[in-house]
Amino acid sequence: MFSFFHQESSHGSIKLPWLAIVLTAIPVCGYFIFGPAPEWLVFDRNATYQGEVWRLITAHWVHSDSEHALWDIAALGILSVVLSQYSRKLLIVSLIIGMVGVDLWLWFINQTLIYYCGLSAILNTVFAVTLYMLWREHKHHMIWIVALAAVGKIIVEMSSRQAIFTQTSWPSVPEAHAVGFVIGIFVIFLVLVGKMLR
C-alpha cells in the first residue's frame, strides 16, 4: 500500500522521506546525547512558571526511559513516513498544533501535573490526521476499525490509569493521549474547512 521510498517519475531516482528522517532523528539524538528525562528539557511546571518556557517544546521530544523512547520514536517514524506521503505541510502543522494544544491543556487544564515528557500526546494528533488521510484516499473499513481501537485503547488507559503496551519509569498520562487525539480531530476539521473555502 505504501512504499518507504518514492519513485520519481521524471528521473527514475529514489526519493527519501527526508522530513520523516529528520523528525525521527531529533528524539533519537536527544536520547543518546542527553539520556532519559533530562532535567532541563522536561516539562516542569515550576521551572516553566519561572521563565524556562522552552520546556513547552522540548518536553515533547525527550523521554523518561528507553522503552518510552523506543515506542514513541518508532511510532513517529512510521506516522511521519505515511503522512508526509500525503502532505509534508500537514505533518508539520499537525505536530505544531498538537504541541500547542497539549501545552495549553498541560498549563491551564491539568494544573496538578508537575512533570511531563514524551511524544505520545502529539503522536495521537498525527495518528488521527493520518487515519483521516488514509480513509480519504482508500475508503477502507479497516481504517475505521483502527480508529475505534485507538479510541478504545485511550478509554481503557484512562480508566485503568496506566498504559496498555508500556511500563515506563514515569507514570503514564493517558488524558494527554486523549487530548492529542481530539486535537487531531480539530486539525481534520481545519483541513475540511480549508477544502470548502477553496
pLDDT tens-digit profile of 95-110? 999 999 999 999 999 9
Query: Does residue 1 form part of some domain?
Result: no
Considering only CA atoms, give the Rg of the chain.
Answer: 17
pLDDT of residue 5: 35
Whether pTM exceeds 0.85: yes
**Number of structural domains the chain divides into:** 1
Q: Report the alpha-carbon distance of residue 58 to residue 78 in Å, rounded.
A: 21
pLDDT at 2 over 60: no
Average pLDDT of span 43-47: 98
- Distance, in Å, from the CA atom of 78 to the CA atom of 97, rounded to the nearest integer, reads 19
- 5 contacts 13 by C-beta, under 8 angstroms: no
Residue 118 domain-assigned? yes
The CATH number linked to 37 is 1.20.1540.10
Contact (Cβ atoms closer than 8 angstroms) between residue 34 and residue 62: yes
Q: What is the pLDDT of residues 174-186, one digit of tens each?
A: 999 999 999 999 9
DSSP at 107: I
Quick check: is 82 in a domain? yes
Give the range of the structural domain holding residue 184, as residue numbers without chain letter. 6-197
Classify the C-alpha dihedral 159-160-165-168 as positive or negative: positive
pLDDT on residue 126: 99
In 3D, which of 122, 136, 141 has the Cα closest to residue 186?
122
